Amino acid sequence: MNNERFEKYYKAQNILPEDEWDQFLESLRAPLPTTFRVAGSRQTARLLNDTIKETHVPHLAGVVFEGEAVSPPTQISWYPEGLAWQFNVSKKVLRKSPEFKKFHNFLVFETEVGNISRQEAVSMLPPLFLEVEPHHRVLDMCAAPGSKTAQLLEALHAQDTVTSSSFPPGLLIANDSDHKRTHLLIHQSARLPSPALMVTNHDASIYPAIKIPSEHITFASDTKTRVVNKRQHQLLFDRILCDVPCSGDGTMRKNLGIWKTWSPMDGNGLHGLQLRILQRAMRMLRKGGRIVYSTCSINPVENEAVIAAALKSMPDFELIDMSNHLPALIFRQGITSWIPTADRSVVLDFPTFDDYIKTHPHK
């Protein structure tokens, strides 16, 4: 699996040192591990996690299949309280190894009842960086299929117990522009029924302002609308997740077709939409609130360039340093310069926009 355009473009961006490039490509070609998160209320999650750790993992230790040792599941080191796991076994092992087949059946059952969420490790990160608390008003702007939404909803319900559910004072609005995908959101959220969840179907880049009463006042039935409206103000959010549509070239390990079709134009074409969604989020954020912007792309045009343009357009906002939030997480700082291309064949001859413009003199 190779793509010359991909290698040429990303080597020019200096996204990592030259001596790590071969290792990076090999990682992209390696199978993606299976990862899951122990979900539900904190108390329930801790009990189930102890069951996995003390019962299932010891039972899977020392398994040999067709002459080869198979490693048991391991906890993801950076996830809080060790509530996320990963294992890397083939479907053949899951089907034919008695020990792993039993564990797989356990995972399927617990997933169906909402105690486990099958979720990729990187997908777990954005909600963690939001640090949602039960009183927060939260907006997930591009929420489908809903694994991050479920994670946010669990954070709102952090005070739930094994035997009772809480009524969080906060709110979560999960939005998606595709009406069919909103059904996936509802299906995902059904595993944790909550009075604090609302699902909407709007274009995130022009998400409408939501008006709420300024005071708890009951108006007479014949009160004019314009009078009632004066008692309203726009709902602003404490936390907003912008997991925006993207080219997805960070998902090559599971979407092998990207190796054949990748082009820098994929990211270029989405930059404008991504920026508009982020700017809309910034306008709906309460003072002192937080936005997490995320993609599943490694393209700086879809990441750093969007953030830079948004901050330039709204200078009252600032970046937050979250490098110490998950101490065990291995990460790399974002880059501060990049070389865009407006050509499918990856012509990178113009370090700046001005240099490009000079080749197209006005007539």
Query: Shortest CA distance to 271 belongs to which of 320, 201, 341?
Result: 341
| Secondary structure tally for the chain: helices H, strands E | 14, 13
Q: Which helix (H) or strand (E) holds 239?
A: strand 237-243
Question: Binding site annotation covers 142?
Answer: yes
Do the beta carbons of residue 341 and residue 308 sit within 8 Å? Answer: no
Query: Shortest CA distance to 271 belongs to which of 235, 289, 297, 233?
Result: 297
Q: What is the gyration radius of the CA atoms in the chain, in angstroms?
A: 23
Helix (H, G, I), strand (E, B) or coil at 42: helix
Question: Binding site annotation covers 158?
Answer: no
Q: How many whole angstroms separate alpha carbon 60 and alpha carbon 76?
A: 17
Question: Binding site annotation covers 41?
Answer: no
Question: Binding site annotation covers 147?
Answer: yes
How far out from the chain centre does Cα 7 lie? 25
Question: Binding site annotation covers 150?
Answer: no
Question: Binding site annotation covers 146?
Answer: yes
Question: Binding site annotation covers 148?
Answer: yes
How far out from the chain centre does Cα 342 lie? 28
Eight-state DSSP code of residue 158: T
Annotation says 242 is catalytic? no
Question: Binding site annotation covers 12?
Answer: no
Catalytic-labelled residue, pool 296, 305, 306, 310: 296
Q: How many whole angstroms separate alpha carbon 236 and alpha carbon 209?
A: 9
Binding site residues, as ranges? Answer: 142-148, 176, 203, 243
Please list the active-site residues: 296
Binding site residues for S-adenosyl-L-methionine, as ranges? Answer: 142-148, 176, 203, 243
